[in-house]
């Protein structure tokens, strides 16, 4: 009886060795760029108490209402695999009093997130985010900086073709009145809207602006716009964010429907999209969340940040060659050549070279084929003749040239050749 072959869970992807070079490059770009702006890395657990996400992201959002991986552990606690990074980071900032020693903590994080969405190109159930957050700064300059750092990161990774979309969703002063205005307008259209929008009209009218149902679009486009209902403080804050973006030469498109899929936002919200991604066109998204730290039991500390989908970024980058796998391939052709090859291999690896050895006892031709397949730059060969002369033949695979090198010199010779 043949056993069923187990496969990766739907929506969870393997990142294979040939692809991992692109991931190393975007991770290295994050570690290089963010510290220049004062952001330091933070690592929080992949699971948290379920209540953390319900209270921060909002129970009416798609994420919390239907996409979370929630389970009871043996002790009966309700835990959830993090669907995003911000909530856990805010919890950590509060729990460790990070704002006590540094009134304006700036952090970044990278890692896997989990949402039970319908998988499709660019949308997975386990995906990875690069996340950047700045606390304790309410002036518009940090909004402009967060947007600037997000674009600088895309550029550092090699992504040029993208669009920045911008909005302000107001704050606790002006949004409640706007939400009521919106609800009243929606009630008038109730019969013509999709069932989800009819429900959201009562539970969370802002979510209607996120609706993608084609028939609803003309109705939604005609609804009252948040931009016309901002209080003076929010209006001025947003005007200054835009002035500073102009100053920095950053172009954007305003979209009054950009309310984002999480409830914690106040004032500035933004997304960066790329036409090349298709339906799932958002590469990154973020915004301000000034009330969240306090709502979760912390000090009255403002916050702003963004998260980028690493799978989507990798998809957009030009396919770069894989990382070099093999500097030197060692081919001992006779059993007596094995021990010196093992010692040479150890010494070269200690010196920092990438070394592979064929110990499967095949002939020169098949070993050269294997070296070629592995992308080896040099091959060191030792057969009967070389043993007798206490030497190695070193072949340069690119130049197709070769020379004989004394055994005592071969390690230094190869090091010199590889390092150029
Ligand atoms: P978000 O818009 O839910 O925001 O996600 C940010 C990015 O994560 C998206 O633009 C997308 O690139 C990627 N992403 C989301 N879901 C998936 C998925 N199922 N598969 C692949 N990629 C996905 C947040 O998560 C907020 N925490 C951002 C933030 C940080 N706001 C303030 N600080």
- Ligand 1 mutation target, pool 62, 84, 264, most atoms within 8 A of CB: 84
Q: What is the pLDDT of residue 319?
A: 78
Query: Please, which contacts does 54-59 make with residues 24 or more away whose CB atoms are closer than 8 Å?
Result: 55/295, 55/296, 56/86, 56/87, 56/90, 56/262, 56/263, 56/264, 56/292, 56/295, 56/296, 57/83, 57/84, 57/87, 57/262, 57/263, 57/264, 58/204, 58/262, 58/263, 58/264
- Ligand 1 mutation target, pool 10, 109, 129, most atoms within 8 A of CB: 129
Please give the Cα distance from 248 to 242 (Å, whole number): 10
| Any ligand 1 atom below 6 A from CB of 244 | no
Q: What is the pLDDT of residue 420?
A: 86
| Any ligand 1 atom below 6 A from CB of 117 | yes
Please give the Cα distance from 354 to 43 (Å, whole number): 30
Q: What is the pLDDT of residue 389?
A: 97
Structure tokens given for 92: 């950590």
- How would you list the strands of the sheet with 282-288, edge to edge? 40-41, 106-114, 126-135, 303-309, 282-288, 266-273, 163-168, 253-254
228 Cα to the center of ligand 1, angstroms: 28
Structure tokens given for 171: 């704050």
pLDDT tens across 55-71, in order? 999 998 899 999 999 99
| Any ligand 1 atom below 6 A from CB of 305 | yes
Q: Which range is least confidently modeled, 101-115, 271-285, 332-346? A: 271-285
Which residues make beta-bridge pairs with 246?
none
| Any ligand 1 atom below 6 A from CB of 327 | no
Res 375 pLDDT > 90: yes
Res 137 pLDDT > 80: yes
Q: Which residue has the higher pLDDT, 243 or 103?
A: 243
Q: What is the pLDDT of residue 217?
A: 93
231 Cα to the center of ligand 1, angstroms: 28
Closest CA to 308 of 144, 147, 88, 169: 147
Please give the Cα distance from 206 to 183 (Å, whole number): 9
Res 311 pLDDT > 80: yes
Burial 210-248 (b: 16+ CB within 10 A, else e): bbeeeebeebbeebeebbebbbeebbebbeebbebbeee
| Any ligand 1 atom below 6 A from CB of 264 | no
Q: What is the pLDDT of residue 212?
A: 86
pTM recorded for the entire structure = 0.93
Q: What is the pLDDT of residue 36?
A: 98
Q: What is the pLDDT of residue 405?
A: 97
pLDDT tens across 334-358, in order? 999 999 999 999 999 999 999 999 8
258 Cα to the center of ligand 1, angstroms: 14
- Structure confidence at residue 361 as a pLDDT band (50, 70, 90): low
Share of the chain above pLDDT 70, in %: 99
Please give the Cα distance from 229 to 181 (Å, whole number): 9
Please give the Cα distance from 178 to 389 (Å, whole number): 88
Structure tokens given for 113: 């997130």
Residue nearest to atom 10 of ligand 1 (CA): 284
82 Cα to the center of ligand 1, angstroms: 12
349 Cα to the center of ligand 1, angstroms: 40
pLDDT tens across 225-279, in order? 999 999 999 999 999 999 999 999 999 999 999 998 899 999 999 999 998 887 7
Containing H/E element for 296?
none
41 Cα to the center of ligand 1, angstroms: 18
Q: Which residue has the higher pLDDT, 319 or 64?
A: 64
Determine contact, residues 272/149, Cβ cutoff 8 Å.
no
Q: What is the pLDDT of residue 7?
A: 97
| Any ligand 1 atom below 6 A from CB of 131 | yes
Determine contact, residues 382/333, Cβ cutoff 8 Å.
yes
Q: What mean pLDDT is predicted for residues 134-147?
A: 98
| Any ligand 1 atom below 6 A from CB of 274 | no
DSSP label of 412? H
Please give the Cα distance from 199 to 208 (Å, whole number): 9
Determine contact, residues 260/285, Cβ cutoff 8 Å.
yes
| DSSP states of 132-186 | EEEES--SHHHHHHHHHHHHHHHHHHT----EEEEEE---TTTHHHHHHHHHHHH
Q: What is the pLDDT of residue 293?
A: 98
Quote the mean pLDDT of the chain: 95
Query: Please, which contacts does 198-206 make with residues 24 or more away whose CB atoms are closer than 8 Å?
Result: 200/60, 203/60, 204/58, 204/60, 204/263, 205/179, 206/169, 206/179, 206/182, 206/259
| Any ligand 1 atom below 6 A from CB of 123 | yes
Please give the Cα distance from 52 to 283 (Å, whole number): 25
Please give the Cα distance from 70 to 251 (Å, whole number): 40
Counting every residue written for the chain, the total comes to 420
Q: What is the pLDDT of residue 295?
A: 97
281 Cα to the center of ligand 1, angstroms: 11
Q: What is the pLDDT of residue 267?
A: 97
28 Cα to the center of ligand 1, angstroms: 20
Half-sphere exposure of 292 (CA within 13 A, CB side): 33
Q: What mean pLDDT is predicted for residues 168-188?
A: 95
| Any ligand 1 atom below 6 A from CB of 298 | no
Closest CA to 371 of 351, 398, 346, 389: 398
Could you tell me which residues come within 8 angstroms of residue 229 by beta carbon, excluding any fewer than 6 positions away?
170, 174, 177, 178, 181
129 Cα to the center of ligand 1, angstroms: 7
| Any ligand 1 atom below 6 A from CB of 283 | yes
């Amino acid at each position: 009886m043949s056993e069923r072959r187990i496969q990766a869970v739907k929506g969870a992807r393997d990142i294979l060795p040939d692809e991992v070079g692109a991931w190393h490059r975007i991770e290295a770009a994050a570690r290089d760029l963010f510290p220049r702006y004062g952001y330091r890395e933070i690592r929080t657990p992949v699971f948290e108490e379920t209540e953390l996400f319900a209270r921060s992201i909002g129970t009416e959002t798609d994420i919390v209402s239907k996409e979370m991986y929630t389970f009871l552990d043996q002790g009966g606690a309700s835990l959830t695999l993090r669907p995003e990074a911000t909530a856990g980071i805010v919890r950590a900032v509060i729990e460790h009093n990070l704002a006590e020693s540094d009134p304006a903590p700036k952090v970044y994080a990278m890692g896997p997130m989990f949402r039970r969405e319908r998988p499709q190109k660019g949308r997975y159930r386990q995906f990875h985010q690069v996340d950047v957050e700045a606390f304790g700064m309410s002036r518009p300059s940090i909004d402009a900086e967060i947007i600037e750092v997000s674009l600088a990161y895309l550029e550092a990774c090699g992504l040029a073709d993208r669009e920045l979309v911008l909005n302000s969703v107001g704050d606790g002063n002006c949004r409640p009145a706007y939400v009521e205005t919106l609800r009243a307008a929606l009630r008038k259209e109730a019969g013509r809207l999709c069932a989800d929008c009819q429900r959201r009209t009562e539970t969370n009218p802002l979510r209607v602006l996120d609706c993608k149902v084609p028939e609803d679009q003309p109705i939604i486009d005609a609804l009252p716009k948040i931009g016309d209902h901002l209080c003076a403080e929010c209006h001025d804050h947003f005007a200054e964010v835009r002035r500073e973006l102009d100053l920095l030469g950053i172009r954007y498109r305003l979209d009054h429907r950009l309310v984002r899929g999480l409830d914690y936002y106040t004032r500035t919200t933004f997304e960066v999209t790329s036409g090349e991604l298709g339906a799932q066109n958002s590469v990154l998204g973020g915004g301000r969340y000034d009330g969240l730290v306090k709502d979760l039991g912390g000090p009255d500390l403002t916050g702003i940040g963004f998260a980028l989908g690493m799978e989507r970024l990798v998809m957009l980058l030009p396919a770069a060659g894989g990382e070099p796998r093999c500097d030197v391939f060692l081919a001992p052709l006779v059993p007596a050549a094995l021990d010196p090859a093992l010692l040479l291999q150890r010494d070269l690896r200690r010196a920092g070279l990438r070394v592979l050895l064929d110990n499967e006892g095949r002939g020169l031709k098949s070993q050269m084929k294997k070296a070629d397949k592995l992308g080896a730059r040099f091959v060191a060969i030792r057969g009967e003749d070389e043993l007798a002369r206490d030497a190695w033949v070193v072949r340069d695979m690119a130049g197709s040239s070769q020379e004989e090198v004394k055994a005592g010199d071969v390690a230094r010779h190869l090091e010199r050749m590889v390092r150029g």
